[in-house]
Amino acid sequence: MYEGAVQDLIDELGRLPGVGPKSAQRIAFHLLATDDQEVKRLVDALTEVKLRVQFCALCGNVAEAERCRVCLDPRRSDDVICVVEEPKDVVAIERTREFRGRYHVLGGAINPIENVGPDDLRISELLARLADGTVQEVILATDPNVEGEATATYLSRLMAHMGITVSRLASGLPVGGDLEYADEVTLGRAFEGRRVIGNDK
Amino acid sequence: MYVSHLSLLDFRSYASADVELEPGVNAFVGRNGRGKTNLVEAIGYVATLGSHRVATDAPLIRSGADRAVVRTRIVRGDRASTVELEITQGKANRARINRGQAVRARDVLGVLRTVLFAPEDLSLVKGEPDGRRRFMDQLLVLMMPRVSAVLSEYERVLRQRSALLKSARASRRSGGSSRAESAAAELATLDVWDARLAELGAEILSLRIQLVDALRPAVAAAYEQVSDADGDAEIAYRSSLPALSAGNPPELSTGPGDNFADVGHLRDLLLEALVTARPQELERGVSLVGPHRDDLVLTLGGLPAKGYASHGESWSFALALRLASFRLLGGDPQNSADSPAFWDPDLGTDADPVLILDDVFAELDVRRRQRLGDLVLPARQVLVTAAVAEDIPAALEGVRFHVEPGTVTRD
């Protein structure tokens, strides 16, 4: 245990995701040794982010106004919505430049152990966006783990009779990898989701 | 296959150790508490990614160290591979095969296969069902490493589903209207978990039923050989599914023409049972249907081994289960005629699993000792630990190692 302020800082840092007590201690002493100007910049960034950034009222993505950049972009298509768990997933998909529709951020996945149920996710907001009939397709891009799959299944059942195409991102082989090194689950999924590239019948 | 080299770093009582092993019999002799079992435990860990003594990894790391490293060299046919595992407390283990890129620890499964006999095996016969379920599941993973992914996903779904049932029960009890509403919404997701549970559960159930079917004749034969008695040792799978246990006797087998092991059929049965069980599940807040409630029933001359078998008979039964596993894994050519259809092993050359006998002989009388010694002798490699050299049957001649705290020397 350290004296007052230092220990407070270590405790606060230790609460951040992915930071254990040892790392918290290291960061705290790094900050103590850093000159004031640099620490000030960090403090400003923290304050700024809480002041300026909010969540988009429509899709739930991070935004610097009431609507996020994607929702405001008139060039994007309104027919397709891609449903993701977290704002960082939006960034990941945006990097591909493959998708030109809109997003919907759920804010997590169904996870009873963590006490997260469908009511804790932005699901009613999603259903509201589907009500006016503009949206033709919903792409479920939740994580390919137990919780993400359960969320996707739950959503697909909710939307089953709404006259909307519901699709799920394919799971498969990493590009540039070797087939023999793929694990059995991934390879099995890749087989399930194979595509026809030639059909003479 | 055999292990030709074992090196340990901060594993259990060893700061570091290097042991060259030979094919055939290798015996580790030393007084109790000197670290004999730690050596074979490390080899077992490389094969199964688990210890036969403890459920968590923490005790495997030498106290004071923050990680343990186990490196093994495994010879199969004329090919050798090295497997290196780094066990870090509270973190995912790291693995490396043939000094290549780090891979997930799970990818190591299948490189080395072991069958381990230990005093703890007695609980297979005398203990609770969870030990017998683990016995079946571990054997399935040794046969088909991909099963480990199915098992861990099932485990995860089960935990999520049970958490959901528990919180639903809690909010029903507290009776607040707002909580009851959110509980209703949560329950709407129960169907989703049911579907996943049935899907994965059916796969596990099907594999276990087929495994038990394949194992049954081998267990009966091995029991006869170990005990030299006409004991009629029988094994059968007991499912928690009412539809599968309605008959008399409640155990089931897959005779020709039965579709007990059909995954689609089992999934439908599981879904059906989940509907029936739901009121009771909500009442008690636990998952009552699925392979996690099943058992492997052991009977001796028609009577349940647990409770009826003597101490010696229980030991023979435990040994028979392990010997049968060894033969199923390709250890015994004379058994290959009735190798299971569900598992096309493509054993390739030199598929014999490594046999590990940890402190087993001290527990047996002289006759059982000798019989077991004769039975394991044909194996490609046998690793034996014993407190006194006299406990090891004379038939098991081979390399002897003397174990003192922290050091292993070849005699």
| Per-residue tokens: B251 | 């155990």
For residue A111, which residues of chain B lie inside 8 Å, CB to CB?
160
Asked which of A171-175, B45-49, B82-86, B383-387 is least confident by mean pLDDT, the reply is A171-175
Domain ranges of chain A: 4-52, 75-198
* For chain B, counts of helices (H) and of strands (E): 11, 15
The domain made up of A4-52 is a member of CATH 1.10.8.420: yes
- Say which DSSP state B58 is in: G
Rounded mean pLDDT of B296-316?
90
CA distance B298 to B295: 9
Buried b (16+ CB within 10 A) or exposed e, B356-371: bbbbbbebbeeebbbb
| Percent of chain A surpassing pLDDT 90 | 66
CA distances from A56 to A60, A72, A132, B3, B300 (A): 5, 10, 20, 59, 68
Judged against a pLDDT cut of 90, whether residue A45 lies above it is answered with: yes
Judged against a pLDDT cut of 90, whether residue B169 lies above it is answered with: no
Domain that includes residue B96, residue range: 1-113+353-411
Q: Which of B146, B163, B189 sits opposite A113 (nearest CB)?
A: B163
- Give me the pLDDT at residue B167, please: 84
Q: Which of B104, B157, B189 sits opposite A118 (nearest CB)?
A: B189
For residue B196, which residues of chain A lie inside 8 Å, CB to CB?
146, 149-150, 153
CB contact under 8 A, B159 and A150: no
- Give me the pLDDT at residue B341, please: 54
Which element (helix H / strand E) includes A64?
A: none
- Asked whether residue B184 is domain-assigned, the answer is no
Structural domains in chain B (count) = 1
Specify the CATH number for the domain of residue B72. Answer: 3.40.50.300
Report residue B84's pLDDT band, with 50, 70 and 90 as the boundaries. very high
Query: Which is it for strands A62-63 and A80-84: parallel, antiparallel or unpaired?
Result: unpaired
Asked if A180 has any chain B CB less than 8 Å from its own CB, the reply is no
Model ipTM value: 0.75
- Asked whether residue B362 is domain-assigned, the answer is yes
Phi, psi of B110 (to 5 degrees): 100, -20
Residues of B with CB under 8 A from a CB of A: 104, 106-107, 145-146, 149, 153, 156-157, 159-161, 163-164, 167, 182, 185-186, 188-189, 191-193, 195-196
Report residue B335's pLDDT band, with 50, 70 and 90 as the boundaries. very low
Distance from CA of A86 to the nearest CA of B (A): 20
**Which residue did the predictor score with more confidence, B339 or B68?**
B68
Chain B interface, best mutation among A114, A146, A192, by max B CB count within 10 A: A146
CB contact under 8 A, A184 and B146: yes
Q: Which of B106, B167, B185 sits opposite A115 (nearest CB)?
A: B167
Return the residue of A nearest to B155 by Cα.
Answer: A146
Query: Is this model's pTM higher than 0.95 or not?
Result: no
Chain B interface, best mutation among A106, A121, A156, A184, by max B CB count within 10 A: A184
Judged against a pLDDT cut of 50, whether residue B328 lies above it is answered with: yes
- Asked whether residue B201 is domain-assigned, the answer is no
Residues in chain B, total: 411
CA distance B282 to B275: 11
Question: Which amino acid belongs to residue A7?
Answer: Q
Judged against a pLDDT cut of 90, whether residue B270 lies above it is answered with: yes
Q: Could you list the beta-strand ranges (E) of B243-387.
A: 295-300, 303-304, 354-358, 381-386
CB contact under 8 A, A154 and B185: no
| Per-residue tokens: B109 | 């499964």
Architecture of the domain delimited by A75-198: 3-Layer(aba) Sandwich (3.40)
Asked if A49 has any chain B CB less than 8 Å from its own CB, the reply is no
CA angle B73-B120-B301, nearest 5°?
A: 120
Judged against a pLDDT cut of 70, whether residue B249 lies above it is answered with: no
Tell me if A103 sits within 8 A of A70, measured CB to CB. Answer: yes
Asked if A150 has any chain B CB less than 8 Å from its own CB, the reply is yes
Asked if A115 has any chain B CB less than 8 Å from its own CB, the reply is yes
CA-based torsion, B3, B5, B8, B14: positive or negative: positive
Asked which of A132-136, B338-342, B345-349 is least confident by mean pLDDT, the reply is B338-342
Distance from CA of B177 to the nearest CA of A (A): 15
Report residue A3's pLDDT band, with 50, 70 and 90 as the boundaries. confident
